[in-house]
Structure 1
Amino acid sequence: MAGEVDRFQHGVALATVLGNWSTGDGPLYRKLADAVARAADDGSLVPGERLPAERELAKVLAVSRATVVAAYENLRERGVVDRRQGSGTRVNGARRVPRSDGRVRGGQGTAIVQRLIDGPGRLISLSCAADAGVPEVAAALRAVADHDITGLLDDPGYHPRGLPALREAVASHYTAVGLPTSAEQVLVTTGAHQALVLLAEVYLKGASAVAVEAPSWAPCLDIFRQHGVRLLPVGLDDEGIDVRALAGVLAEHNPALLYVMPTFHNPTGRLMSATRRRQVAELAARHGVAVIEDNAYAGSSLTADETSLPSPLAAYAPEQGEVLTVESLKGVWAGLRVGWVRGPAGIIERCARRKAMADLGSPLIEQAVAARLVPSLPELSRARSVVQREQFAVLESLLRSRLPEWTWTVPDGGSSMWVRLPEGHSADVYAQLALRHGVEVVPGSTMDPTGQHDGYFRIPYVRRPGELAELVARLASAWTELVRHGPHEDLPLRPVV
């Protein structure tokens, strides 16, 4: 029980659960108290759970200690917490809570997913790096309605492995980019996220560890955390995952999986070189470790011609290697929710069984639209890259003008930049102030458990120029407040007698 009740001793962990607690009207101490009470009511905080010390929570939330003291006292008066000298502040042990709050225990990506559930409201949320759909989606939908719908309606509608036409299209796409593929090696999924869920179910039963890049995208890491495995972070260099460090991790820990994002890594936007792909594939094969390459952001190049990009990492694997390639149509339109995994036919069959148990197969009309789009991916990628270069240029210009103290490296591609705050500043603290200025920031601590990127956060640039201008204006206002004034002083009014 000790591990469970001590989960939130550190302020960052509690801040993740509280989410957008500081938005809305009213004094900060009252909003903080209300957010903690809601978390206790819905089961996010369990009876007996110890809350962070006042100074610790004040530091992380960028408020004064007096604000936290007032919030805790308000919660004590409401019966939500107990406060005892030497024991700290704990959730009232007599409270009754739901059996489950639906959250991923130990997962720092939960708040990011929760934002998608709640909707952005008045906030500008940096948790989502997806643009509007391209016009070709509408054209493909009309073509399906005009030419394909009769055949689809004649079909019973259950294809757990995916619509045959789409599987053939994906196989042809990979063959064309240097990775020979047959339809039997392709499973269609409801987005890339489901592909990762299925692969985790196949590989992680009884497993103890997964090797991952540091940083990496928190919701993806949470998929592995749900299986109780230990994450083994490996840093990056200019060519991708650090192969020397990776060799040490594989030799010492023998993980069940290696998870990498070689084509426009999220959040750094880095492109793994062809040489590094070969090294990683050969190293993993030598140690008998399966590799998941997540290329959800493929087709969004900022610095290179799409035709000159390396083939998927699986193309460099030796015969005994086992590489699963995950991709989606996120860059075409995330709302289409079509993804896939390409791999050895036996693994694909095992994933298909699990998908059949989950949903009996993804919707066919969306797959039919995707089947018409996949052959055009090279042209769609080139057009999208032109637009994203313009969007990136706008954001970079705004940041240089309004926030010259911040630094970043121009990404090779993807849809966001990886920004570093000046030395000594925590992105966790800045994120709390940004919330009060109307921006939801995802700090680097959620993406790297080693602490090496606590001063970083991700800024997606796939927005219209006016939206980018408003975003940077809010970020700059929050930064000015942090630098000039520090934590916000917010005291409850007390009657004078």
Structure 2
Amino acid sequence: MEAKVDRKGRVAELADALGDWAAAPGPRYRTLADALASAIHTGLLGRGDRLPAERAFAGALALSRSTVVAAYDELRGRGLVTSRHGSGTTVAAAPGRGADQTDGRVAGGQATALLQRLVDRPPDIISLAYAVDDGTSELADELVDLARTDLPRLLRDAGYHPHGLPELRTAIAEYYCRSGLPTTPAQVLATTGATQAIGLATQLYLRRGAVVLVESPSWPGCLDIFRAAGARLVGVPLDEEGIQADVLASAITGTQPDLLFVMPAFHNPTGTLMSAARRRQVAALCDRHRVPVLEDISHIGHPTALPAPVAAHGTGAAETLTVGGLAKTIWGGLRVGWVRAPIEITDRLTRLKALADLGSPVLDQALAARLLPRVGELADRRHQLRRHRLAHATELLRTQLPSWRWRVPDGGPALWIELPGADARAFAAIAVRHGVEVVPGSTTDSGDEFDSFIRLPFTFPEEVFTEVISRLTRAWDELTRHGPMADPHGPIV
């Protein structure tokens, strides 16, 4: 964490990194102090770092200033911070803890609160950070049949396949051929989820100071991967057809980027489907300027129902890597992904993957190879369920939160909602006190254009989503009627 954390961006970054501290039991000033103490012990805040100004931090956390003042007093009492008039509050040495010690928190300023919350899994919190569905019944059937018919053959194998299980790579190649993108198994690398594929591409293309063009907004989990590599992110806005080609052209000539990252189907968090015409424009621009493209198409379905990937429209002048996976169509727990690229790029990525894990789990890959030929059928069933849940979600929103605004997405599992006249980060801080974790739009972009937006998945069963909206309604009432709430358990001075 850089020392000057009291500027708006640094204040927001620290507020996010503290995680769901407000859901912990006890007086609010003390739970905030505990969260800051943990950040000091794990190295997120280092010796000499300055804590945010009390008023600015209170605004970011949707608290009263007196609560933050009391939390800082608590930290001073523990010997973790010191204060000097005119210089603010700074971190002192963390007593009894070495720099290499940890308490289980995700370390480093680049890791978002999303990752920390996945580790912590706070009780009684309904998380809107991950839009996931239950596993399909077909997955269970295929798993049983796999154990009965294929397991003896698989167990006779050594089990190390850095490129991926051959039958899975063949199934992926056939899927892309049907999608309009000619592919051979040699162009495919199987990975442990799409996230690993993005991480491997980042290792290959990015060094500290590299420039990555990204859609604005984009998903913070992907942005964190690029930031962790030391890259500088430049956002390019979207319209109803996807990333804006004219702005992209200007960004390419103005920044000479090392990589372009896009999510053509369906964009996260807006749910936009990039049109075929826009994909051709993106491919032509990147070919002309030889900008490598990383396209994440993790929402897969009928191979002929969606426009062909960006890679299908290029001449090959620009290296284009197409990432996919089964988590969003089959089940989040099936951690099977892949990347399709020119053979020489796939070989380089394979060497990086071999250094990481020698290859993804064989049984998972074998199951994925069985399911991939049926992915169109399975995606159709998933789509029908999501349409029903989307109708339920929009009816609840219109009834209970009529001032909220959104556009029905082209696809995907979530709504991108604008909260009129509100700071979504402040709303998220209040929502977690009502038992719901919200992803504010400010985490999806380095600017302030989406500060009033949140992402709202509708993949929950109806009774759970009904409870989500009930809690969010109470949080919204608190924000709009009363603003930040003072801590009733604060010390009496």
Are 2:192 and 1:190 aligned? yes
Work out whether residues 306 and 381 of structure 1, in 8 Å CA contact, stay in contact via their aligned partners in 2. Answer: no
Are 2:319 and 1:322 aligned? yes
Letter of the 2:119 partner, please give it: I
What is residue 180 of structure 2 aligned with on the other side? 178
Are 2:306 and 1:309 aligned? yes
Mapped to 2, the partners of 1:161 and 1:343 lie a distance apart of 12
Mapped to 1, the partners of 2:158 and 2:27 lie a distance apart of 58
Are 2:124 and 1:126 aligned? no
Query: Where in structure 2 are the equivalents of 1:256-405 lying within 5 Å?
Result: 256-299=258-301, 307-330=304-327, 331-405=329-403
Are 2:100 and 1:99 aligned? yes
Work out whether residues 8 and 14 of structure 1, in 8 Å CA contact, stay in contact via their aligned partners in 2. Answer: no
Work out whether residues 66 and 491 of structure 1, in 8 Å CA contact, stay in contact via their aligned partners in 2. Answer: no
Q: 1:326 deviation in Å? A: 0.2
Q: 1:172 to 1:384 in 2, by over 3 A?
A: same
Q: Of residues 451, 456, 459 in structure 1, which corresponds to 2:453?
A: 456
Mapped to 1, the partners of 2:283 and 2:439 lie a distance apart of 31
SS at match of 1:165: helix
Letter of the 1:99 partner, please give it: D
Mapped to 2, the partners of 1:446 and 1:206 lie a distance apart of 21
Q: 1:57 to 1:97 in 2, by over 3 A?
A: farther
Q: 1:298 deviation in Å? A: 3.0
Q: 1:8 deviation in Å? A: 5.5
Work out whether residues 418 and 457 of structure 1, in 8 Å CA contact, stay in contact via their aligned partners in 2. Answer: yes
Q: Name whichever of 306-315 and 289-298 sits farther off.
A: 306-315
Q: 1:494 deviation in Å? A: 5.3
Deviating beyond 6 angstroms after TM superposition, the runs of 4 or more aligned structure 1 residues are none
What is residue 302 of structure 1 aligned with on the other side? none
Work out whether residues 137 and 373 of structure 1, in 8 Å CA contact, stay in contact via their aligned partners in 2. Answer: yes
Are 2:448 and 1:444 aligned? no
What is residue 232 of structure 2 aligned with on the other side? 230
Q: 1:81 deviation in Å? A: 1.0
Letter of the 1:39 partner, please give it: A
What is residue 114 of structure 1 aligned with on the other side? 116
- Give the TM-score taking structure 1 as reference length: 0.95
Mapped to 1, the partners of 2:83 and 2:489 lie a distance apart of 19
Letter of the 1:152 partner, please give it: L
Work out whether residues 178 and 303 of structure 2, in 8 Å CA contact, stay in contact via their aligned partners in 1. Answer: no
Work out whether residues 80 and 94 of structure 2, in 8 Å CA contact, stay in contact via their aligned partners in 1. Answer: no
Q: 1:7 deviation in Å? A: 3.8
Mapped to 1, the partners of 2:410 and 2:204 lie a distance apart of 32
Are 2:57 and 1:57 aligned? yes
What is residue 72 of structure 1 aligned with on the other side? 72
SS at match of 2:21: coil
Mapped to 1, the partners of 2:57 and 2:198 lie a distance apart of 34
What is residue 39 of structure 2 aligned with on the other side? 39
Q: Deviations over 1:147-186 (max 9, x none)?
A: 1111101111110000000000000011011111100010
Q: Name whichever of 393-402 and 203-212 sits farther off.
A: 203-212
Q: Name whichever of 35-44 and 196-205 sits farther off.
A: 35-44
Mapped to 2, the partners of 1:460 and 1:495 lie a distance apart of 41
SS at match of 2:330: helix
Q: 1:26 to 1:483 in 2, by over 3 A?
A: same
Q: Deviations over 1:64-101 (max 9, x none)?
A: 11111111112112212111101101111465542376
What is residue 147 of structure 2 aligned with on the other side? 145
Mapped to 1, the partners of 2:207 and 2:487 lie a distance apart of 49
Work out whether residues 176 and 303 of structure 2, in 8 Å CA contact, stay in contact via their aligned partners in 1. Answer: no
Q: 1:118 deviation in Å? A: 1.5
Q: 1:8 to 1:132 in 2, by over 3 A?
A: farther
Q: Of residues 457, 481, 485 in structure 2, which corresponds to 1:484?
A: 481
SS at match of 1:292: strand
Work out whether residues 408 and 418 of structure 1, in 8 Å CA contact, stay in contact via their aligned partners in 2. Answer: yes
Q: Deviations over 1:434-465 (max 9, x none)?
A: 01000111111111112110110101111100
Work out whether residues 207 and 256 of structure 1, in 8 Å CA contact, stay in contact via their aligned partners in 2. Answer: no
What is residue 86 of structure 1 aligned with on the other side? 86
Mapped to 1, the partners of 2:20 and 2:122 lie a distance apart of 10
Mapped to 2, the partners of 1:25 and 1:203 lie a distance apart of 45
Letter of the 1:139 partner, please give it: D
Work out whether residues 417 and 455 of structure 2, in 8 Å CA contact, stay in contact via their aligned partners in 1. Answer: yes
Q: 1:297 deviation in Å? A: 2.3
Work out whether residues 131 and 463 of structure 1, in 8 Å CA contact, stay in contact via their aligned partners in 2. Answer: yes
Q: 1:71 to 1:150 in 2, by over 3 A?
A: same
Q: Deviations over 1:344-403 (max 9, x none)?
A: 000000000111111000111111100000001111111110011111111111111110
Mapped to 2, the partners of 1:274 and 1:438 lie a distance apart of 41
Q: 1:492 deviation in Å? A: 5.0
Mapped to 2, the partners of 1:66 and 1:137 lie a distance apart of 53
Work out whether residues 264 and 270 of structure 1, in 8 Å CA contact, stay in contact via their aligned partners in 2. Answer: yes
Work out whether residues 104 and 226 of structure 1, in 8 Å CA contact, stay in contact via their aligned partners in 2. Answer: no
Q: Name whichever of 35-44 and 124-133 sits farther off.
A: 35-44
What is residue 431 of structure 1 aligned with on the other side? 428
Q: Which runs of 5+ in 2 are unaligned?
A: none
Q: Name whichever of 464-473 and 220-229 sits farther off.
A: 220-229
Q: 1:103 deviation in Å? A: 4.3
SS at match of 1:332: coil
Mapped to 2, the partners of 1:343 and 1:435 lie a distance apart of 41
Letter of the 1:438 partner, please give it: G
Work out whether residues 70 and 492 of structure 1, in 8 Å CA contact, stay in contact via their aligned partners in 2. Answer: no
Work out whether residues 405 and 421 of structure 1, in 8 Å CA contact, stay in contact via their aligned partners in 2. Answer: yes
Q: 1:306 deviation in Å? A: 7.4
Mapped to 2, the partners of 1:495 and 1:6 lie a distance apart of 31
- Give the TM-score taking structure 2 as reference length: 0.95
Mapped to 1, the partners of 2:153 and 2:191 lie a distance apart of 21
Q: Name whichever of 120-129 and 357-366 sits farther off.
A: 120-129
What is residue 471 of structure 2 aligned with on the other side? 474
